[in-house]
Structures are given as C-alpha cells and as structure tokens.
Copies of this chain bind each other. A is one copy, B any other.
Amino acid sequence: MSDDVLDKDQAPPPREALEDNRLTGAFVDEVTDALAAGDTARVQELAEPLHPADIADLIEQVEPHERQQLAAALGDVLDADVISEMNEVVREQLIDVLDAGQVADVVTQMETDDAVAILEDMDEEDQAEVLRSLPADERAAIEEALSYPEESAGRLMQRDLIAVPEYWTVGQVIDFLRQAGDDVTSDFWEIFVVDPAHKPVGTMRLSLVLRSPRNVLVTDLMNREQTLIPVDMDQEEVALRFQKYALISAAVVDPSGRLVGVVTVDDVVHIIQEEADEDILRLSGAGDGDINDSVREIVSTRLRWLVVNLGTAIIASIVIGFFAGTIEKMVALAILMPIVSALGGNAATQTMAVTVRALATDQLTEANTRRTITKEIRVAVINGAAIATLVGVVAGLYFANVHLGLVIATAMIGNIIVAGLAGVMVPLTLDRMEVDPAVSSPVFVTMTTDVMGFLFFLGLAAATGLTG
C-alpha cells in the first residue's frame, strides 16, 4: 500500500470500463484506437479515472507490442501506484526499456517493499545503476531489503510504521500523530508499542485507541499477545501466520528482537494466491507459468517437464516390452492396457493433490500422518474393489473371457491401492526431505503407477497362462 487516500474529490471511475471486475473488450478497444490515432489526450482521459489496479490491468490487456506506446501515451497517469500493481512479468518487460534515471524516479515515489519488488528482478548491472541514481537514504533502505533472502519477510516489509513508548498515554499518542509532519506515515492499521531497546512489547488497534479516553495508559490498552515475524521468515510461512491468526499487520523483528518493519495483510493476500497457484501449476508440470510469459519462456518450462515425462513413459514402455510375446498372443491386452494406466493415474493424482495442499497449509502434521495414510489405504481398497469389479465384468463380457476379466480386475485393484499409497507417501517423503512436493511428486507418482499397473496386468496375464 503506497500513497494515502487517492484524490478525495474524484468521482468513482466510469463503470462502463469495467464489467464483472474486468475491463471490457470494448473499453480496451477504445483505448487502442485512440493510441493508434496518436490521440494521447484521449488515452489519458480514458485511463485517468481508473483505479491504479485497473490501469495496470489495461496495460496488461493490450497487445505486447503496444505496451510501450501506451506507457508513453499515459505519461504521468502511469505513476508509481500503477507500476506497483502490475503483473510481475509485464512490469519487467516495461522496466527493461526505461533507463536507470526513469526507474529511479518511479522508485523514489514508492514504499520500500514495492521498490524492492521492482529492483529484485532486474539484472545486477541495471539494478546497481538505478541504486546509484537514488537518494542516499532510499538506497540504504532498499539495499538493506535486498540483503534479505528472496521471498522473505525482510523484502515484504515496510519500514514506515508507528511505534510508541510503553509509558505514554492515549492522549500523548494522539498528540504525536496530529503534530507529526509528512515524514510520518499515514498508512498504518495498528500502533506498535516498544521498550527502550526498541523491541516490540505489544500492539494497539486503532479502533481501541479512538475509543479510549486520553488518560488511559498505553500499557493498559495494548495487546501483549503478538505475532512477531523474524526478518528472514519465508513469505509463504508469513502468509500462513496471517491467515491462522487473522492478522491485519504484524511486527517484523531482527535476530536481536528489535522492531525493524511491518508486514500488512494486503501484501500477504497476494502471496496466498500466488503460492496456491504455484502448486497447481507445478503439479501439472506447467512450472511457474504466467499468462503473460513469452512463447520462449513457456516452451522452456513445459518442454523440460514433457521430456521428463517422456522418460517415465519410456520406462513404462520397457516394462510392456518384456511382455511383447504375451500381447502378441492376445490383442485384447493391448486394447485394455490404457484403462489400467488411466485409472491408476487418476487415483494417484487425486490423492497427490489432497496431500500436497494439506502439507502446504499445515494441515498434515506429525500428529495426524499415520491416521491419514491409513485412511488413504482404506479409500484405495474400497475404490479399487469397486472399479475392479466394474472393469472386470465389462472386459470379461465384452471379450467373452472370464479369465481375462479376473486378471484385469485383480490388476486394477492392485494398481489403485499402489496409486493411493504413492499419492500420499511420495509427497510426504519429499516434504520430510525438504524438497517441494508440488514440483517433484508428479514424476515419481506417475512412474510408479504406470510401471506397477502394466506389471500387474501383463504380469498376471502371463503368469496365469491367460494366453495359453
């Protein structure tokens, strides 16, 4: 959250620009038409009443090759607020074409966390150039933030906050706030209370400060139960704390316990979405796919995973190859094979998705792991038996071969049980090894279910003399 209240006397933006919270195609066309006609005044007129988040959307919505032109046409309408709101990928593309001086101008208008978000994605050289163009105190703040690990609280936090001594009264707090000038932020939701060593001892909700008479002591009003965020805590962990304890803001402390910054919930809201999306995309082998990535970036991520999956598919084919003779004698086996691998794969994916998300949201812990695994086995046995019966009957009837029906039924139940087990054990093991289960599980899990599925099916067929 950067600036104060927006232009307070401004009427709400024209609602025709938005429908269901998205910019309409018609509005975007109007802007691009004005752009093509070189009518920058019209472009600004259309964009100016919009909320910065919507102006950012507008830039993301136009064709990539038009974005620079639009940025130039928008002029001052494209301010620091808009840039903070932009999708990361599109913002990088835009920043790339600005020179260091222009970037520095934009950055000086931002809060430290927004400034860091821009600078951290730049090349080292460009980043250094921009930093040199900044006023000394801003540069110091940003360099400090960059010294913290990526995706940590230190990069998320704001330094501007309100901290008052324990021995003050409500009256003194209000006087301080009223008399403070522009260098004290108006962007806070709670007031931190610190001891002489600048270590947080409590927080005060503004609503309580407003409701209390002036003579009430801060120590009597504050909440001592506070969630302190270590400066190097991972952002996903920060987000989970906010969610768990219903926080609006939280104090960030350095290793010695001193208050160094504050994280507010709106930064965290954005992370929760991102982290969940990451898991979906990684589970599908789409990497960190963003709808704005270039063709090259998309190809490089997805192709990597397709090649890995090709590897596991080849392993499965090798297993089938062992049974080439068996298949030659009964083509029904080839016809039914996809059913075995498809169902095993689906059962495994279901289990894997639930497990990965339960791990990510701290719902799967030491205390309930054994119980969860036992439950998954029971579910797999029941589902396996049901599907196996269905498939066995259908296959047996269609090919008029009871033995075949029994073989596929047995293979199916075995495969679904293995799939259920793999779907829960693989993510759990990877998590214990501190490897991201969303990225790595799919490969191991599908390989297991495919190989075991074909082994069961074709192996049973051969072993029980199905093909004579």
Q: Which of B10, B188, B272, B338 contacts A313 (CB 8 A)?
A: B338
Interface residue? A256 (CB, 8 A): no
- Contacting residues, chain B, for A243 (C-beta < 8 A): 266, 269-270, 273
In the assembled complex, A186 has its CB within 8 A of some CB on chain B: yes
Residues of chain B within 8 A (CB-CB) of A237 are 20-21
Copies in the complex: 2
Contact B338 A321 (CB under 8 A): no
The residue that A350 contacts in the complex, of B285, B292, B314, with Cβ under 8 A, is: B285
Q: Are A357's CB and B266's CB within 8 A?
A: no
A137-163 toward B: CB 8 Å interface, digit per residue (1/0)?
000000000000000000000000000
Contacts A361-B277, A365-B61 hold; do A209 and B208 have CB atoms under 8 A apart? Answer: no
- Min CB distance, A359 to chain B, in Å? 10
Q: Is the CB of A5 within 8 A of B378?
A: no
Q: Verify B206–A186 contact, CB threshold 8 A.
A: no
Helix, strand, loop or mixed for chain A's interface?
helix
Assess the B4–A208 pair: CB atoms within 8 A.
yes
Q: How far is the CB of A22 from chain B (nearest CB, A)?
A: 5
Q: How far is the CB of A406 from chain B (nearest CB, A)?
A: 18
Known: A225-B6, A241-B21. A302 touches B379 (CB 8 A): yes
Determine how close the nearest CB of chain B comes to the CB of A426; give it in whole angstroms.
Answer: 14
Query: Is B379 touching A310 in the complex (CB atoms < 8 A)?
Result: no
Closest chain B residue, CB of each to CB of A330: B328
Contacts of A317 in B (CB 8 A): 335-336, 338-339
A310 CB contacts on chain B under 8 angstroms = 339, 342-343, 387, 390-391
Contact of A302 among B25, B277, B383 (CB under 8 A): B383
Q: Is the CB of B284 within 8 A of A266?
A: no
Contact with A225, one of B12, B240, B248, B362 (Cβ below 8 angstroms): B12
Q: How far is the CA of A365 from the CA of B28 in the complex (A)?
A: 11
A222 is an interface residue with CB less than 8 A from chain B: yes
**Chain B residue with the shortest CB-CB distance to A295:** B378
Question: Interface readout for A185-214 with B: 1 if CB under 8 Å, 0 if not?
Answer: 111110000000000001001111111110
Contact B269 A268, beta carbon cutoff 8 Å: yes
Q: Which of A71-79, A99-107, A120-128, A174-182 contacts B (4 or more CB under 8 A)?
A: A174-182
Contact A306 B248 (CB under 8 A): no
Q: A298 and B22: CB pair below 8 A?
A: no
> What chain B residues lie within 8 Å of A446 (beta carbons)?
342
- The 0/1 profile, CB within 8 Å of B marked 1, for residues 300-321 of chain A is 0011011101101110110011
Contact call B383/A306, Cβ cutoff below 8 A: yes
Query: From A284, which residue of chain B is reached at the shortest CB distance?
Result: B353
Question: Are A375 and B186 in contact (CB-based, < 8 A)?
Answer: no
Complex contacts, A400 vs chain B, CB 8 Å: none
A331 within 8 Å of B (CB atoms)? yes
- Docked complex Cα distance between A298 and B383 (Å): 10
A334 contact from B53, B314, B320, B341, Cβ within 8 A? B320
Chain B residues, Cβ within 8 Å of A226: 12
Expressed in whole angstroms, the minimum distance between the Cβ of A155 and any Cβ of chain B is 18
Q: Which of B209, B266, B356, B368 contacts A247 (CB 8 A)?
A: B266
Instruction: Select one of B9, B28, B221, B299 contacting A379, CB under 8 A.
Output: B299
Q: How far is the CA of A272 from the CA of B271 in the complex (A)?
A: 10
A47 at the interface (CB under 8 A from B): no
Q: Which residues of B contact A206 (CB under 8 A)?
A: 189, 206-207, 210
Q: Beyond A186-B208, A211-B180, is A368–B295 a contact (Cβ under 8 Å)?
A: no
At the interface, yes or no: A291 with Cβ under 8 Å from chain B? yes
Interface string of A342-378 (1 = CB under 8 A from B): 1101110111111011100111111110011001001
* Contact status B246-A1, CB under 8 Å: yes
Residue of B whose beta carbon sits closest to that of A348:
B284
Other than the given A23-B367, A313-B343, A320-B335, 8 more pairs (CB < 8 A) read A8-B222, A186-B205, A276-B280, A285-B350, A292-B363, A305-B350, A306-B387, A337-B338
5 A-B pairs (CB sep. < 8 Å): A248-B248, A269-B272, A272-B272, A285-B350, A286-B353
